[in-house]
Structure formats: C-alpha cells, structure tokens
Amino acid sequence: MPTRSTASLGKQRGSSVIELPVIALILMALVVFAVKIGHGLSLKTKLDQLAYSLTSVVASERLEFDLSGSAGIITPQIADALRVVAERHFHSGANSSSVEVGIQLEQLKQGSAGALYFSERAGASCQAQQKLTQLASLAPVGTVSGLNNGLRPDLFQVSVCLTSLPSLTGSVYPVFVRDFAERYYNSSAVLIGRQYD
C-alpha cells in the first residue's frame, strides 16, 4: 500500500495557498461586473420609461398649460421643462449628480398644407437615433367623415440621452466601452398627437 510522503502533502498545501486568492479575485471581479451590468440595465429601463412618459405628456390633449406651445407647436421652454423633469428623475440617487441629461423634442405637424418639422433641444448633446421625418408613416389617416377624414395627427418624438456616466464608464474602461455607453443610454419614444388640425 503506497503512502504519501510529507513532501507531497506540503506541495499540495502550497498550491492551494496560491490558487485560493487567484480564484477569489476572479470571483470578486465577476460579481463586480455582474453588479455593473445589472445597474446599467436598470438605468436603461428607467431611461426607456422616462422617454415614453415625456412623449405621452407632450402628445396628450391640451391641459391648462398648453404643452404644445402656441398654435400647437413645440417651444424651447417645453424642451427645457422636460429636461428639468428628466434631471430630477435621474438625480434622485446618491451618486447620480454627475449624470448629464439631454433632451431632443421633435414634432411633425401634419396639416392640409403638408407636414412641417420642428425640433428643440435642451441640456447635454442629444440626437435621436432615427429622425422623426423618417417615421411619418406612423401617423394614421383619419377615416371619420366630418371630423378627421383624410387628416393625419401630429407626431411627437422625445429622445432622452444620458452622458458623463462615471459609475459605468470610469477611466478604467477603454474608449470603445465609453462610446458604447454614450450610444446605449439614448432612448426615444414616438407617439401620435391626440388632436387633429
């Protein structure tokens, strides 16, 4: 019956002392990476929900405060008011004070004379991934005679962009990761207006 020598047991103990910290370091890196990915996905979901909510507010029926501006056309004040709402939404966390929010508000006003395009920006640089004029076919043609027969409602698009995300794109990450984050944290929502000319 073979017996293990003490030298063999000592080598095995030595290798486990080296392997354990390496495995622990790799596991810690995986946990940190998973937490960062989870935070990023959560932030993207909040961004998508906010873009839809802001678009819904702009496209809704006229309230006491005319959100569509004078003559139903968007104004820089509306874009700035949406930016303030978005900043409050993202600055509610502890470390989110360095996040910059940008808004692009677009309107395609479709009347009997044709379509007129309006665009307003507020805050950090923000560009919609697809211009609203390319989405003009989303506006349905009205079919109720005497009310909206042959008319198309206005289209509204709100794009919300987050920039300067140090928690996700710190100096440790390469430039291509930071560029990806700048494109990833850009959300747009399109809705038809609820009024016809």
Q: Where are the domains of the chain?
A: 16-192
Where residue 13 falls (left for φ over 0; alpha for ψ -120 to 50; beta otherwise) is: alpha
The single-letter code of the amino acid at 189 is A
In this prediction, residues 63-68 reach a mean pLDDT of: 50
Q: Which of 94, 101, 98, 118 shows the shortest CA–CA distance to 54?
A: 101
Position 58: which residue type? V
Going by pLDDT thresholds of 50, 70 and 90, the confidence category of residue 63 is very low
* Distance in angstroms between the alpha carbons of the first and the last residue of the chain: 97
Nearby residues of 97 by Cβ (< 8 Å), 6 or more positions away? 91
Percent of the chain exceeding pLDDT 90 equals: 21
The whole-chain average pLDDT of the chain stands at 78
Q: What is the pTM of this model?
A: 0.74
Read off the pLDDT band of 64 (50, 70, 90). Answer: very low
Over pLDDT 70: what percentage of the chain? Answer: 72
**What angle in degrees, to the nearest 10, is found between the helix axes of 76-90 and 6-59?**
150
Helix, strand, coil percent values for the chain (each to nearest 5): 45, 20, 35
